[in-house]
Structure 1
Amino acid sequence: MAMHKEKFISECVESGDRFEATIKQNKILNFANSTAKKKIQINNKVQEVRLQRDLCGRMLAISMNENTNIEKILTFPLTPVPMSLCHLDGSIFKTDKSVLMKLLENDVKSVAPTHTDVCLIDGFYLVHSMKDIPKTFGNISKKILQMVTNNNKAREIHIIFDRYFTPSIKDYERSLRGGNGDERAYVISGPDQTRPVDFVKELRNSNFKEALVHFLIVHWQSSEMIPFFENKTVLLNFDQCYEYKVYNETVLFSINDMYTLQGHEEADTKIVYHACNIPEEANIIIKCSDTDILIIMLANMNHLKKNSKVWIQTGILSKQRVIDVSALYNRHGELFCKSLTGFHALTGCDFNPAFFRKGKQRPLKILILSEQCQSAFAELGSEDCDRESVYREIEKFVCSMYAMKTVESVNSARFSLF
């Protein structure tokens, strides 16, 4: 305090106006400050340079006293996390998956189908796209079914929802999207129950989403929902696949065993499973926003019924567009399309890290030009996979991503870049 007093007196002596000027608040130092922790943000790039400098310094010090093989040293993990795949805190590098969808759809001119037999809809994509959300759960249920059937020319509509298990491979991605936070239990007692004020925020709670789907399953069986079905067959896939039909002013409710996948979590693969198990030739349109569905669908086009065709409708309002998946498959062929799932996983998806600053565009160009890489990625994960040859080819692919076309070993490429 004495220091601040002396400072104020000296300032008043120097300037006559200082006495009436504002006195800034002084930070009082006490014992609490001795244990206070400051939160500071360090630029990852600067921290990485320090890490590399320390690493080089240690290696140089060792080499002065020992006969060291730098190429051999670089084959071992020398940092706490791989800097080509992770941030310093251990979180994985991400890349924009939608770039891959845009690159692929630019290869064909897509025209919407003149008629649609079956429509497959990502359930939570539909829920998230809902505007002017009604106040009660009963009206929300009606609006969702109306969104599904209104202006939909398909005779059969499948709505497929994610399920939520713990622990799950999707936990990390959900945490990035704001999920896995407030996971309190939620019960919807009936159609007159008022929804939460912040409906979108509540959708981050997996228990709330499960309660909402279970409510839809029950509520759609009631007679008040008959006008909203519009003489269409509606299937809802969650823990089981529930089927709804209207006959003689009654909702006929049943379990469809053919599409039931108990214990299956991911909606993306369930959507593709539905498409591949439609029993007759059909024009199929998938409504979703996820690049993963396009990639998985392309890899499984050979499982469709003969002469069936698939389109994906994505985007909202004025940005809505259609991708002709069948035309894309015919354009690139079976081998390339089968290779896309392995390629997508290696170059970065929800569960796997992306290579730092490599993205999707350059790696895709390499894949298109190399039939050997396509074969390796297509074989990756199959039961009869020749691991040694497949891994060797994928290693060459990674080297090519770093412009090392003549290098076949990742260790050799790392030494050359070092």
Structure 2
Amino acid sequence: MGFHDTLKKLSLRTFTIKRKKKPENDPVGILHSDRSTFSRIALVAQTRQMDMREVLSYPLGPLPWSLSTTSGTLIKTSKSALLPLLFDDNSGSETTDNAGDGALIVDAMALLRAMKVNELPSTYGEFAALVLSRLCRFMSSYKRVDFVVDTYRQVSITNLERTSRMSAGALRQHITGSIQRLPRQFSKFLAVGENKSELLEFFFTQWQTPELMSTVPAQKELVVTSGSSCVMIKNNDASPASQPLPDLVCTHEEADTRLLLHAKHAACAGCSHVTIKTPDTDVAVLATAFCRSIASRLSLLIGAGSRLRRINVNAASNKLGQEVSSALPGFHAFTGCDTTSAFAGRGKKAAFKLLCSDKPVSVLARSAFVAVGNKFEALPAEHIATLEKYTCMLYNATQCSSVNDARYQLFCTRSLQSSQLPPCRDAFLRHCSRANYQAGVWRRCLVASPVDILSAHQDGQGWQLRSDGCLTIDWTDLPPAPRSILEFLRCGCKTGCSGGSCSCRRHALPCTDACGCRHNSPVACTNCMEELAACENEDAPLADSVDE
């Protein structure tokens, strides 16, 4: 190679390889945990009495594998699989937009994430103007446009999901002014909650300057939120102004619920039709559940470009029926969302099909899901029993009413790993608590500042508050297996286990192959099953002769 020749690009190993990690739901990790537990079970079962029903009432691992990944995070399911079940082509689609004087409610973060990197301007000031121009473009079809944001709290159940999104990389940058340059790694910038809070507050301030307020079309309304604040910007008679909207000052954390609150406000303000623009399945569920409480016709705008689809939420909800629609928040939280686990290997489609069937358990399950989230207290025992039976049906254990019984039946009749079994009852009850809390937040989406949410503590609702102020998932209080297996009692005798020094004999237990007397003792063990059986056989004829 000559001195001036071009060097070929080499694939050198860098520190980025350290970021690669095993898949969260790693079957190898689960198999290693199962192997450790079941090897102890096999040894104990050889010589000692053991109730497998009791054993299977434990999680059989450091975490309940039917709800948790090997890294301790929530098992995820495809939430979008629920959309075609809620909105089929015959009941929920609209091909034309006849909004007229309607309102468009926009999910702020979905709008920002949809922007391509090559569309981003150089500075924050230009970015604020670009986003505002896109909102004003919507006003050609709508009288009112709402820009609805999330809030980001230090202690929150949603932080667990946001932390997992930051695993791909995060970039923290303080916003100091409009001429500051926008980071090129914009997706990493949006992965940090503090960045999003500062960016949305920057928009909120910039859009209320006379220069940008004048770009809002005349006789149109722009509703902008930031934190708990909300203002309406109008440009009437060439005199732009902003005014606060006290009815929309709220304590909602997620934009999912705040979008419905704004939809209700727009309907009450006289908008004949309200459209929510969002890709989130959670919002679709809430819109279907609560559209009857919104005075105007409600639609969803999903997708982009040629795949843009308008959904008539009222028509879809009417086809599902009021009972199924009202059950959706509890059902969605129970079968898996951003803050609750899905059941491993059990998706939305099968669960929804079971919910809508005519089986007796489905009828009871619909009533139970309607009650999930009505109160933040523990669910009544009858609803817990119904949800337990519903879970057994999900796992095709049709003859069982308890998840522990279903675990035993499936373990005996099929060759399943512990991740393929239903959760044990203790983990199941905590999962119900998390689903009840999340559904409770959703069911109060039409109230600006629900008092019972402020008084309800997330700690103890299936989560635990650590000493550093962070919430973690409270999976279960149970150990992985019964104490007799975890603290596997084995002696180290070298004298045949004939005296009181043998720990197995003191606890009235026979020695097993794991005891030292089987391998290190020159004298045969007298406390093993074989010796004890031989003694019983020698005593049996003597007992017969005495009886004779």
Q: Normalising TM by the smaller chain, what interval?
A: 0.7 to 0.9
Q: Is the counterpart of residue 146 in structure 1 residue 146 in structure 2?
A: no
- Report the counterpart of residue 283 of structure 1 in structure 2: 273
Return the offset for 1:294.
0.6
Q: Is the counterpart of residue 114 in structure 1 residue 98 in structure 2?
A: yes
- Report the counterpart of residue 217 of structure 1 in structure 2: 204
Matches within 5 A, 1:18-417: 44-106=26-88, 108-111=91-94, 112-116=96-100, 117-131=102-116, 132-152=119-139, 153-178=141-166, 182=170, 184=172, 186-190=174-178, 192-231=179-218, 232-239=220-227, 240-261=229-250, 263-278=251-266, 279=268, 280=270, 282-305=272-295, 308-369=296-357, 370-383=362-375, 387-417=380-410
Does structure 2 retain, via aligned residues, the 8 Å contact 1:183–1:207? no
Structure-2 separation of matches of 1:203 and 1:55: 42
Return the offset for 1:183.
6.5
Structure-2 separation of matches of 1:264 and 1:361: 30
Aligned residues between the structures: 377
Structure-1 separation of matches of 2:299 and 2:151: 25
Larger radius of gyration: 2
TM-score (norm 1): 0.84
Does the C-alpha gap of structure 1 residues 260 and 105 become closer, same or farther in structure 2, counting only changes over 3 Å?
same
Structure-1 separation of matches of 2:21 and 2:283: 40
Q: Which 4+ residue blocks in structure 1 deviate beyond 4 angstroms? A: 39-43, 179-183
Percent sequence identity over aligned pairs:
29
Structure-2 separation of matches of 1:295 and 1:230: 33
Structure-2 separation of matches of 1:187 and 1:257: 28
What per-residue deviation string (whole Å, max 9, x for no partner) do you get for residues 146-176 of structure 1?
1112143111111101111112211121122
Does structure 2 retain, via aligned residues, the 8 Å contact 1:226–1:250? no
Name the SS of the counterpart of 2:27 in structure 1: helix
Query: Which letter maps to 2:40?
Result: R
Does structure 1 retain, via aligned residues, the 8 Å contact 2:75–2:342? yes
Does structure 2 retain, via aligned residues, the 8 Å contact 1:221–1:251? no
Does the C-alpha gap of structure 1 residues 161 and 58 become closer, same or farther in structure 2, counting only changes over 3 Å?
same
Give unmatched runs, 5+ long, in structure 2.
1-17, 412-548
Return the offset for 1:41.
5.4
Does the C-alpha gap of structure 1 residues 53 and 179 become closer, same or farther in structure 2, counting only changes over 3 Å?
closer
Structure-2 separation of matches of 1:87 and 1:199: 29
Query: Which letter maps to 1:245?
Result: K
Report the more deviating stretch, 202-211 or 308-317: 202-211
Structure-2 separation of matches of 1:134 and 1:44: 41
What per-residue deviation string (whole Å, max 9, x for no partner) do you get for residues 58-108 of structure 1?
223223333222112211233100111122222221111111113222262
Structure-1 separation of matches of 2:410 and 2:307: 42
Structure-2 separation of matches of 1:397 and 1:316: 37
Query: Which letter maps to 1:287?
Result: K
Give unmatched runs, 5+ long, in structure 1.
1-36
What per-residue deviation string (whole Å, max 9, x for no partner) do you get for residues 188-243 of structure 1?
323x3332233333222222222221121121122222453112111112221111
